[in-house]
Structure formats: structure tokens, C-alpha cells
Amino acid sequence: MLLAAVGDTPYNIMLLLHILAFVVALAPAFVGRTINAGTQGNSARSSVYEAIAKNSMRIHGSALVVGGLLGFGVAGMSKDLNDELVYEVKDGWLIAAVVVWIAMNGVLHAMVMPGEKAVAAGDESATGRMLLGSQVLSGLFLVSLYLMIFKPGA
């Protein structure tokens, strides 16, 4: 059954939601250094990081999970006019994208979010781990963009 061919409106809506979810999920990774530098020595630093930590799982963590799940939907909806899948999860570039997505979740939940909570609690020693996690997350995002755009091996 043809749900949507690549380029049809339902497919494009799913693709838009997939991309939008990743933008929401990864925005903090790209501004983390700026926030850190802007709050150094500021009495509001712990309050800023408390607000960030409070919203990280609810907004960014959830968006990262939903973005990946929507990616499965995009692949599942990628039918051609003969009702054949254009992209299959067994394709090497999609398997690599899933591995990168899992790694992104690991970095976010093991380095960035605990670091934000620790800085909010006044533990400045966690700043380095948090910033490193943001950089790794940004790098993984660039790898996923490469995979999605160039589809190596497809």
C-alpha cells in the first residue's frame, strides 16, 4: 500500500518534522559555549543552568528521541510509484545513521544533561564534561547530516 511517494506532501511533512525535531534537540549543543562564556562569574549562572537543566530532558532529550523515530517513519514512507521502498533500514547509510543517533542520545544523557545539572548545583568541575559533550554532539550531528545528504553506499 502506497502511503506516500518520495516528494509527496505526507512524505515531505514527515521529513519536515524529522528535521525540525533535530533542530530543537541540538540547538543547545551549538550555543553551549556561548552560554557558558556569558555566564562565567555571573551571579545568575546557577539559575541559568538550573533552567536549562530543567528543560533539557523535557524539550531537547524528547526532541532527539522523537527526531530519530520520525526518521524511521521517513524511511518507511519512502515508496516509489511502484510501491517499493526507496530507502530501507538495512541500507548501510541508514544503519550508520541509527548508530549515530544512538550515540547522540548517549552523549546527551551521559555527558551534557548531567553536566548541566551539576553546574546548576554549583559544581564547576562538570563544565568541561558538559562542553565536551556538546562538541561531540555537534560533531555527531554533522556526521548524520553527511549520511542523510550524501547517502554513501546507496
What digits encode the pLDDT tens for the residues 45-96?
A: 999 999 999 999 899 999 999 999 999 989 888 888 787 888 888 899 999 9
Neighbouring residues of 101: CB distance < 8 A, sequence distance ≥ 6 = 64, 67, 68, 71, 144
- What pTM does this model have? 0.89
Cell of 153: 553506499
Q: How many CB atoms lie within 10 A of CB 46?
A: 17
